[in-house]
Amino acid sequence: MDPNISSSSGAEGEERNFGDERLYKEALAPQFERLFLLTTNHDEDLEGIRADLNRMMEYVMRIERHQVYGGFAKLQNSGANEQVAIKTKKEMRRMWAAKNT
């Protein structure tokens, strides 16, 4: 067993505490993939759930890119890399305050 993962029984089954955030994301990825595959057969009923899953995964990836690139995300645009600044909440507040004074 990996020393970064500790397990304990929970009311709903096994609960895991991950010492490393990357291990946590790697453990969640197959579950998201499984849920996505299960939802493809019920397009009309589960379209909203699929959209929520996609938004959540985009949000997680945005946070990860922000942490990896120190506030800059590399985006692919027509084969060329561009760096786009991701505004933090603090920067957005500062911009809003300057605009409204």
**Whether residues 26 and 63 fall in one domain:** yes
Alpha-carbon distance values, 78 to 45, 49, 75 (Å): 36, 31, 10
Residue 64 shares a structural domain with residue 75:
no
pTM over 0.75: no
Backbone angles phi, psi at 4, to 5 degrees: -85, -5
Position with higher pLDDT, 44 vs 30: 30
Instruction: Tell me, yes or no, whether 75 and 55 share the same domain.
Output: no
Tokens 């938004």, residue located: 55
Same domain, 95 and 75: yes
The tens digit of pLDDT for each residue in 14-24 reads 555 656 777 77
Q: Do 7 and 41 belong to one domain? A: yes
What residue numbers bound the domain in which 42 lies? 1-68
Q: How many domains does the chain have?
A: 2
Measured between alpha carbons, how far is 32 from 24 in angstroms, rounded to an integer?
Answer: 12
Residues 6 or more apart in contact with residue 19 via CB below 8 angstroms: 3, 4, 5, 6
pLDDT tens digits, 60-87: 888 777 666 655 444 444 444 444 444 5
Give yes or no: residues 21 and 40 share one domain. yes
Asked whether residue 48 falls in the same domain as residue 8, the answer is yes
What residues contact 66, with CB distance under 8 A and at least 6 apart?
Answer: 73, 86
Identify whether residues 62 and 76 lie together within a single domain: no
pLDDT for the residue numbered 88: 62
